[in-house]
A and B are shown apart, each in its own frame.
Chain A
């Protein structure tokens, strides 16, 4: 007997696992141990941590400006500014520095030994800097000078600054929302669109590559003889989606934890529902697009053909991406229902807070229906094109192929 296991085992042996699961497990195992995937993930995490860390650091950093003076009046003014700086901006402190004269001050600025030179002019005061002054420095100096001069003028007029400015304060309020929150909504919305776009391209290309790899290495004929190609397609897409979603969840989790450490943490509760929806739309949209990527892979015969066979789908993605960027108002409202555009636009509207609760439900149903139709179409193209190894196929030629 040449092989150890018995040939007489019953033909209907119990199947331990459905084929698509075996395929998906291989996809995941291969990808999870692939060096480029691991390095890519590490780089992406480093970028997220880096960006958020830089933001948090920038917010908390204290800045000290050396302000030069060359006269006693200027010295008094500089010291007055230094005294008030902390009240105006907690992260700014002013260090008065004595110089001999205006020329010495210029020299100090050029040599970057001082950040600014404060001196009086006939109209008031001038703050000289090498390049445009930082907004923090400008704010602190102008507000402090104004307050000090106002107090002095009031004193000589026999009154106080408080009496002079009484009743002049304007406070801001708005009826709808919070301006800072809406800015964050805008940023998060676009960030999600970008995440969707890049994830689709990145994982889609990987999927198309693994399809063409099976075709190019000719292993697909052995697989096709053993299992239905539909199961192979399903397994590859599901395996790929599991990896993609796992990676996205890691990014989103790290991103949210990072965000909660910055000053923007107040926005999190308002966004969590929308981000939940984003995951749902991402998953469906991703799977729908994956089938198209698999078709692009099946149409190619070699990795080199992929660039051109995947052009239609990269065009579609560009359309979705720019649609998301440029559509607003009624356009965005309509677009947020049209699959596959809805996969990007609806989550953006949700983040934006302009969609009612039932709108994403309708959009998901439409997207799912579109997805089912597309998957069937893609399956036909995939299974017919997969065994054709003689060069790149057009969509039309693949559709007409017989099994």
Chain B
């Protein structure tokens, strides 16, 4: 398990990351979301040791993370690129060797990954001869060799075509299944929603909320949707409710004081028939919007 505790970083007077703590459990995908300037990239750079932390620590398997540990972490920086003029196989082997792999092992693993991404034939081509989508694929491979013990990926899906997004998602799931802690940041909330077991939400340098999907949903206010046979405007007058939306016979409400939804239901049945009444489970993206609002 990878764990971040109390990480803090200032740039001049500005606190970019303020006392950030969260775990990245093994065998799960942790989504890292937040607007631009929320401090995600700075946090990930500190995890990788590219940027020094002013306070706090990063631990790996219970001890303070070392350079040797980090050497086995797969990392995809937000601002990324490779050597434009060097053949892709050569530069991937070089990067793998920098991370402690033997040339023969690196060559074997990379060749099989290139084939998996449909780039087997392009191994000797310089990077700049590849399409942007394929360059992104090469970048993904760069983060995956040698077989990483943890994956720290900053916006890994940005710039990918739909096909590559699926391939990337599969890869992340596979690594998680193999017991690798995976944390990735993304602006694509639907993707995060679909993939992640845990969510860490940052805003203005702080973690505003975090937890598994269920935990976050449980924390969120109870929501109900009701459909009547007449106009639903009267629900606004009921106490203990927050009305999120009313349109014609439909209304969506949030429970402020416990039991208010039962009073609503009783009132509705006394006024006419109730066509539908059900609990609304918010999507992670909705929760995200609320906590960062």
The answer, yes or no, to whether A169 is at the interface (CB within 8 Å) is: no
Interface residues on B, range: 35 or more
Q: How far is the CB of A7 from chain B (nearest CB, A)?
A: 5
Asked if A4 and B67 make an inter-chain contact with CB atoms under 8 angstroms apart, the answer reads: no
The A-B contact count (CB < 8 A) is 102
B 92-103 to A, binary, CB cutoff 8 A, 1 in contact else 0: 001101111111
Partner of A7, one of B84, B105, B147: B147
A-side interface residues, number (CB < 8 Å): 37
Asked if B68 and A222 make an inter-chain contact with CB atoms under 8 angstroms apart, the answer reads: no
For chain A, residues 206 to 222, give those with C-beta under 8 angstroms from any C-beta of chain B.
213-214, 216-219, 221-222
Within the assembled complex, what's the spacing in Å between the Cα atoms of A86 and B63?
Answer: 93
Give every chain A residue within 8 A of B13 (Cβ-Cβ). Answer: none
The answer, yes or no, to whether A273 is at the interface (CB within 8 Å) is: no
Give every chain B residue within 8 A of A145 (Cβ-Cβ). Answer: none
Asked if B171 and A389 make an inter-chain contact with CB atoms under 8 angstroms apart, the answer reads: no
Give every chain B residue within 8 A of A353 (Cβ-Cβ). Answer: none
The answer, yes or no, to whether B206 is at the interface (CB within 8 Å) is: no
Asked if B73 and A225 make an inter-chain contact with CB atoms under 8 angstroms apart, the answer reads: yes
Which of B50, B95, B143, B174 is most buried by chain A, counting CB atoms within 10 A of its CB? Answer: B50
Asked if B81 and A2 make an inter-chain contact with CB atoms under 8 angstroms apart, the answer reads: no
Knowing A2-B174, A4-B108, A16-B102, say if A222 contacts B77 (CB, 8 Å).
yes
The answer, yes or no, to whether A226 is at the interface (CB within 8 Å) is: yes
The answer, yes or no, to whether B146 is at the interface (CB within 8 Å) is: yes
Interface majority SS (helix, strand, loop, mixed), chain A: loop
Knowing A5-B147, A11-B68, say if A221 contacts B99 (CB, 8 Å).
no
The answer, yes or no, to whether A26 is at the interface (CB within 8 Å) is: yes
8 residue pairs, one from A and one from B, having the closest CB atoms: A218-B81, A217-B81, A2-B174, A221-B77, A225-B48, A403-B52, A3-B147, A218-B79
Residues of A within 8 A of B (CB): 1-7, 11-13, 15-17, 19, 22-23, 26, 29-30, 213-214, 216-219, 221-228, 387, 389, 402-403
A3-B144, A226-B71, A226-B75 provided; 20 other pairs, C-beta below 8 A? A2-B144, A2-B174, A2-B178, A4-B108, A4-B112, A4-B147, A5-B108, A7-B148, A7-B149, A16-B103, A19-B98, A29-B90, A30-B86, A213-B83, A219-B82, A222-B80, A222-B95, A226-B98, A226-B99, A403-B51
